[in-house]
Amino acid sequence: MNIRPLGDRVVIKRVEAEETTKSGIVLPGASKEKPQEAEVIAVGPGGVVDGKEIKMEVKVGDRVLFSKYSGNEIKFEGEELIILRQNDILAVIEK
Amino acid sequence: MNIRPLGDRVVIKRVEAEETTKSGIVLPGASKEKPQEAEVIAVGPGGVVDGKEIKMEVKVGDRVLFSKYSGNEIKFEGEELIILRQNDILAVIEK
Amino acid sequence: MNIRPLGDRVVIKRVEAEETTKSGIVLPGASKEKPQEAEVIAVGPGGVVDGKEIKMEVKVGDRVLFSKYSGNEIKFEGEELIILRQNDILAVIEK
Amino acid sequence: MNIRPLGDRVVIKRVEAEETTKSGIVLPGASKEKPQEAEVIAVGPGGVVDGKEIKMEVKVGDRVLFSKYSGNEIKFEGEELIILRQNDILAVIEK
Amino acid sequence: MNIRPLGDRVVIKRVEAEETTKSGIVLPGASKEKPQEAEVIAVGPGGVVDGKEIKMEVKVGDRVLFSKYSGNEIKFEGEELIILRQNDILAVIEK
Amino acid sequence: MNIRPLGDRVVIKRVEAEETTKSGIVLPGASKEKPQEAEVIAVGPGGVVDGKEIKMEVKVGDRVLFSKYSGNEIKFEGEELIILRQNDILAVIEK
Amino acid sequence: MNIRPLGDRVVIKRVEAEETTKSGIVLPGASKEKPQEAEVIAVGPGGVVDGKEIKMEVKVGDRVLFSKYSGNEIKFEGEELIILRQNDILAVIEK
Residues 6+ apart with CB under 8 A from A27: A18, A19, A20, A21
Using pLDDT thresholds of 50, 70 and 90, give the confidence band for residue B36. Answer: confident
Does residue E22 come out as left (phi exceeding 0), alpha (psi in the -120 to 50 range) or beta? Answer: alpha
* pLDDT at residue A93, as a whole number: 96
Choose the mutation target among D23, D88, D90 for the interface with C, i.e. most C CBs under 10 Å: D90
Total tally of structural domains belonging to chain E: 1
- State what percent of residues in chain D have pLDDT above 70: 81
Q: How many residues does chain G have?
A: 95
> Quick one: E46 exposed, middle or buried, by C-beta within 10 A (0-12, 13-18, 19+)?
middle
Chains E, F: CB contacts within 8 A come to 61
Contact F5 G90 (CB under 8 A): yes
Contact A6 B57 (CB under 8 A): yes
Residues D90, C70: contact at Cβ < 8 Å?
Answer: no
Using pLDDT thresholds of 50, 70 and 90, give the confidence band for residue D86. Answer: very high
Subunits that touch chain B (at least 3 Cβ pairs < 8 angstroms)? A, C
Could you say which residues from 5 to 34 on chain F have a Cβ atom under 8 Å away from some Cβ of chain G?
Answer: 5-7, 9, 11
Choose the mutation target among D10, D54, D77 for the interface with E, i.e. most E CBs under 10 Å: D77
Average pLDDT, rounded, for chain F: 86
Range of the domain at B43: 9-93
- Residue F4 to residue G71: CA distance in whole angstroms: 21
Rounded to a whole number, what is the distance in Å from the CA of D36 to chain E's nearest CA? 20
- Residue A34 to residue A16: CA distance in whole angstroms: 9
Residues A12, A66: contact at Cβ < 8 Å?
Answer: yes
* pLDDT at residue C47, as a whole number: 92
* pLDDT at residue G69, as a whole number: 83
Residues E38, D74: contact at Cβ < 8 Å?
Answer: no
pLDDT at position B69 over 80 = yes
Q: What is the DSSP string of D31-95?
A: -SSPP-EEEEEEE---EEETTEEE-----TT-EEEE-TT-SEEEEETTEEEEEEEGGGEEEEEE-
- State what percent of residues in chain B have pLDDT above 70: 81
Q: Which residue of D has its CA nearest to E17?
A: D76
G2 within a domain of the structure (yes/no): no
Contact F58 E9 (CB under 8 A): no
- State what percent of residues in chain G have pLDDT above 70: 81
A38 within a domain of the structure (yes/no): yes
* E17-75 confidence digits (pLDDT tens): 665 555 665 555 444 466 789 999 999 999 999 889 999 999 999 999 998 888 999 88
B1 within a domain of the structure (yes/no): no
- Of the listed ranges B13-17, D11-15, E47-51, the least confidently predicted one is B13-17
Q: Which of G52, G58, G94 sits opposite F50 (nearest CB)?
A: G52
Residues D19, D26: contact at Cβ < 8 Å?
Answer: yes
Using pLDDT thresholds of 50, 70 and 90, give the confidence band for residue E77. Answer: confident
- State what percent of residues in chain C have pLDDT above 70: 81
C abuts D (3+ Cβ pairs < 8 Å): yes
Could you report how far apart the first and last alpha carbons of chain C are, in Å?
30
F2 within a domain of the structure (yes/no): no
ipTM above 0.85, yes or no: no
pLDDT at position C11 over 70 = yes
Using pLDDT thresholds of 50, 70 and 90, give the confidence band for residue D95. Answer: confident
What number of H helices and E strands is found in chain A?
0, 11
pLDDT per residue rounded down to tens, chain A (95 residues): 799 999 999 999 999 766 555 566 555 554 446 678 999 999 999 999 988 999 999 999 999 999 888 899 988 888 999 999 999 999 999 97
Using pLDDT thresholds of 50, 70 and 90, give the confidence band for residue B10. Answer: very high
- Chain B hits for C25, CB-CB cut-off 8 Å, are none
Q: Give the DSSP letter of residue F78.
A: T
- Residue F4 to residue B76: CA distance in whole angstroms: 61
G76 within a domain of the structure (yes/no): yes
C50 HSE (CA, 13 A, CB side)? 11
* pLDDT at residue G81, as a whole number: 94
- Residue F49 to residue G55: CA distance in whole angstroms: 9
E4 within a domain of the structure (yes/no): no
Q: Which residue of A has its CA nearest to G44?
A: A91
Give the angle F39-F40-F44 at the CA atoms, nearest 5°: 165
- Residue F43 to residue F59: CA distance in whole angstroms: 6
Choose the mutation target among B15, B56, B63, B65 for the interface with A, i.e. most A CBs under 10 Å: B65
B28 within a domain of the structure (yes/no): yes
Rounded to a whole number, what is the distance in Å from the CA of E57 to chain F's nearest CA? 18
* Rg of chain D, C-alpha, whole Å: 14
C25 HSE (CA, 13 A, CB side)? 2
G54 within a domain of the structure (yes/no): yes
* pLDDT at residue F92, as a whole number: 97
* pLDDT at residue C22, as a whole number: 59
Contact C93 B6 (CB under 8 A): no
The percent of chain G in helix, strand and coil, each rounded to the nearest 5, is: 5, 50, 45
* pLDDT at residue C31, as a whole number: 46
- Chain B hits for A83, CB-CB cut-off 8 Å, are 65, 90-91
From residue E91, alpha-carbon distances to C83, E37, E94, G7 in Å are 28, 10, 9, 44
Q: Where are the beta strands (DSSP E) in E1-95?
A: 2-5, 9-14, 19-20, 26-27, 37-43, 47-49, 52-54, 63-66, 72-76, 79-85, 89-94
From residue G57, alpha-carbon distances to A62, F67, G91 in Å are 27, 27, 10
Q: In this structure, how many other beta carbons lie within 10 angstroms of the beta carbon of residue C51?
A: 13
- Which carries the bigger pLDDT value, residue E34 or residue F6? F6
Residues B73, B38: contact at Cβ < 8 Å?
Answer: no
pLDDT at position G23 over 70 = no
The CATH number covering residue A27 comes to: 2.30.33.40
* pLDDT at residue C84, as a whole number: 96
- Which carries the bigger pLDDT value, residue G50 or residue C11? C11
F4 HSE (CA, 13 A, CB side)? 11
Rounded to a whole number, what is the distance in Å from the CA of F79 to chain E's nearest CA? 24
Q: In this structure, how many other beta carbons lie within 10 angstroms of the beta carbon of residue G79?
A: 12
- Residue C69 to residue B52: CA distance in whole angstroms: 25
Q: In this structure, how many other beta carbons lie within 10 angstroms of the beta carbon of residue G13?
A: 14
- Which carries the bigger pLDDT value, residue F63 or residue F76? F63
Q: Which of D1, D91, D89, D94 is nearest to D46 (CA)?
A: D89
* E81-90 confidence digits (pLDDT tens): 999 999 999 9
Contact F4 G86 (CB under 8 A): no
Choose the mutation target among A65, A66, A88 for the interface with G, i.e. most G CBs under 10 Å: A65
* F16-45 confidence digits (pLDDT tens): 766 555 566 555 544 446 678 999 999 999
- Amino acid identity of residue D93, one-letter, is I
Task: Give me the mean pLDDT over the B49-72 stretch.
Answer: 92
Contact D6 E52 (CB under 8 A): no
Among positive and negative, which fits the CA dihedral A79, A80, A85, A90?
Answer: negative
From residue C67, alpha-carbon distances to B5, B81, C35, D14 in Å are 12, 13, 10, 29
- Of the listed ranges D63-77, E16-30, E57-71, F73-87, the least confidently predicted one is E16-30
Residues 6+ apart with CB under 8 A from A25: none
What number of H helices and E strands is found in chain B?
0, 11
Does residue G46 come out as left (phi exceeding 0), alpha (psi in the -120 to 50 range) or beta? Answer: left
- Chain D hits for E89, CB-CB cut-off 8 Å, are 6
* pLDDT at residue E1, as a whole number: 72
Element (H, E) at B20: strand B19-20
Q: Which of G26, G39, G41 is nearest to G66 (CA)?
A: G39
* pLDDT at residue D30, as a whole number: 47
* pLDDT at residue E35, as a whole number: 72
Give the angle D40-D46-D48 at the CA atoms, nearest 5°: 155
From residue E69, alpha-carbon distances to A25, E17, E41, E49 in Å are 59, 17, 19, 22
* D32-58 confidence digits (pLDDT tens): 466 789 999 999 999 999 889 999 999
- Of the listed ranges C56-60, D70-74, G28-32, the least confidently predicted one is G28-32
pLDDT at position G40 over 70 = yes
According to DSSP, the β-strands at C47-49 and C37-43 are: unpaired
> Quick one: A80 exposed, middle or buried, by C-beta within 10 A (0-12, 13-18, 19+)?
exposed
Residues E83, E9: contact at Cβ < 8 Å?
Answer: yes
Task: Give me the mean pLDDT over the B23-48 stretch.
Answer: 76
